[in-house]
A and B are shown apart, each in its own frame.
Chain A
Amino acid sequence: MTETVPAGRLSSVSSGNALELRGVTKMFGALAAISDITLTVRSGERRAVLGSNGAGKTTLFNCVTGDFLPTGGTIRLFGEDVTRFPAYERIRRGLRRTYQISLLFNGLTVADNVYLACRGVSRGRFSFLRPRESDALIARADELIAAVHLQDWRDISVANLSYGQQRQLEIALALAGAPRLILFDEPAAGLSPTERSELIAILQGLPGHIGYIIIEHDMDVALRVAESVTMMHNGTIFKEGTPEEIENDQEVQELYLGDGHA
């Protein structure tokens, strides 16, 4: 056990943790985008990750989901060592993510996008049989589309959606199936105030067993949806604590809150 893990979290057994990172490092050539990250997220925990541009937040997500393999360290997901697993194996175990820059299927409709997300975490990915109108996954996809208020755009090609709508669709894709841990990469960026409060409502309305990590520049959003905060700086973890601790921390204020970012 590493000493950097706060004592309170040590008590939770390993199976009670959604995510455990030990010394995770990712090099891009000579640049360490993240170095020696050790982090534990309990099942059902809701955590915000803060940090300035280039701090390594997205790279951390990419290592957890398997978009990139880390250069060093181990990643345990729901108690299982997944460090060398391909992305799809981790997703099938209950991990989900959204992308900072929307990664959608532009040639397909909204309904097809969400249907694919539902199909990807269920069986029959290779099915040659068309789904019937009564298919449970189609109904589930329609629920998700309604949850992000895209029902009127259901049969519209994704390329024709507005920026905000594409961000909403990103979230719908991440909610498909039975997620246990969701990684949101700046989901509120570029949303209108209304869309923003809808997003907060969606996050707050998630069932208690679903944990998430959210990267968010907007302190107000982050503090409303998270119970713990991890502060990153230059590829390392700079501070961990409750929202109040972070907000009132002298060093954090000097580094981030003082020099008026936003």
Chain B
Amino acid sequence: MALAEPRKSAVQPTWVERIPAIWWALLLVLLTMPAWANDFILFQVMGWTFVLGMIALSLMFLAGYGGMVSLIQMSVAAMAGYMVAIFGASGVGDISMGLPWWLYIPIAIVIAAIFGTVVGALAVRTEGIYTIMITLAIASAFFYFTRQNYTIFNGYSGFNLVVPPQLFGVDWRQPMPFYYLTLGCAGLCYGAVVYVSRAPFGLALQGVRDNPRRMAALGFNVTAHRVASYTFASVIASIGGILLVWQNAQIAPGTAGIPAVIDILVIAVIGGITRPIGPFIGALIYVLLRTFSPDVLLAFGLSGERFKLLVGLGFLALVFFSPDGVLGLWERWRARRARRRDPLTGGEE
């Protein structure tokens, strides 16, 4: 009887021991990076990677576990950023209220989460391409609204001088503190998604993805489950959005313009939406291309403006050769290597 016997033997490794060595190596590299990387790498490359990775992670959660490709995640992030500027302090004194950080941060996350939930409630009644269309339509409506509305969103110019609070006497916009701040938030969001994916909520979401009709026949309210997953994803996106505003020290309609909205989709697809690490890989590739390809292009006598062409071509090639992103490439490469190992010695042939 399955009940009587313990399912795990005593010699089984604990969950800490089961983490592969490569993860420990990655953790070590990330934690010690400020010791050997320059400020530009810390702030511009890594900081931005973590921020975009978090926003793309919220899309990965919806698309990978829920089967819902939502293009609203960047707008949700921007909504949180705007709320930080409006409820906190900024260079636009007439609008910003200057509340303390422990008030404006939760307010921003709650408002952005409500926004994402409402959009989700509209979007979950649609499937596939229609979900993409309705979320894209709302994202562009949000862009035009922020550009035209001056009483709340300060229209075209948006908000400048939006900086993180001087907490514990640290200036969190300095490269090293900002690096650790974004690393910590990204790590938390990543951990939350990994954890929830095996909790009843996440498991049920994957059930909804695989077979919504059967989920209803098992007693699940499929619509409510989908909407709740938008709420969860929106919280992650809004944390990314707040950090993004702090990094740029400003927010304007372009932050969530259509190009930015599409970039999040591109990042998630490049990295791979099957696992939560994918969006961060995609974000790193995107940020590296975006940061360094103008120099490379200039060296070849081409206009630095053409980096978008590089990103686009890379995206095309990847989708063509590996629809499940870089993660898919990596997994296939590992599977091939494992096959090529000598079965007796375990060494390479």
Interface contact B206-A91, CB-CB below 8 Å: no
Q: Is A106 an interface residue (CB 8 A)?
A: yes
Q: Which residues of the other chain, A, contact B207 by a CB distance below 8 angstroms?
A: 105, 108, 116
Beyond A65-B217, A133-B8, 20 additional pairs, beta carbon < 8 A:
A67-B216, A88-B216, A91-B216, A91-B219, A99-B217, A103-B213, A108-B206, A108-B207, A112-B206, A117-B218, A119-B204, A120-B215, A121-B219, A125-B201, A126-B200, A126-B204, A127-B199, A127-B201, A128-B201, A143-B3
Q: Please list 19 pairs of residues, one from A and one from B, whose beta carbons are closer than 8 Å in the complex, sorted by A's number.
A: A67-B216, A86-B221, A88-B219, A99-B217, A104-B210, A104-B214, A106-B211, A116-B218, A116-B220, A117-B218, A120-B215, A125-B204, A127-B199, A128-B199, A129-B199, A130-B199, A142-B2, A142-B7, A177-B219
Nearest chain A CB to B64 CB, angstrom units: 10
The residue that A91 contacts in the complex, of B7, B211, B218, with Cβ under 8 A, is B218
Nearest A residue to B2 via CB reads A142
Q: Is B141 an interface residue (CB 8 A)?
A: no
Q: Which residues of the other chain, A, contact B198 by a CB distance below 8 angstroms?
A: 130
Interface contact B2-A151, CB-CB below 8 Å: yes
- Give bound CA distance, A105 to B3, whole Å: 24
- The bracket for how many chain A residues form the interface is 35 or more
Residues of B near any A CB (own CB < 8 A): 1-3, 7-8, 195-196, 198-201, 203-204, 206-207, 209-211, 213-222, 225, 228
Interface contact A130-B216, CB-CB below 8 Å: no
Q: Which residues of the other chain, B, contact A184 by a CB distance below 8 angstroms?
A: none
Given known A-B contacts A104-B214, A119-B204, A125 and B220 have beta carbons under 8 A apart: yes
Chain B contact residues, majority secondary structure: helix
Which A residues between 108 and 158 are near B, CB-CB below 8 angstroms? 108, 112, 115-117, 119-121, 124-131, 133, 139, 142-143, 145-146, 151
Interface contact A124-B218, CB-CB below 8 Å: no
Nearest chain A CB to B91 CB, angstrom units: 39
Residues of A near any B CB (own CB < 8 A): 65-67, 86-88, 91-92, 97, 99, 103-108, 112, 115-117, 119-121, 124-131, 133, 139, 142-143, 145-146, 151, 173, 176-177
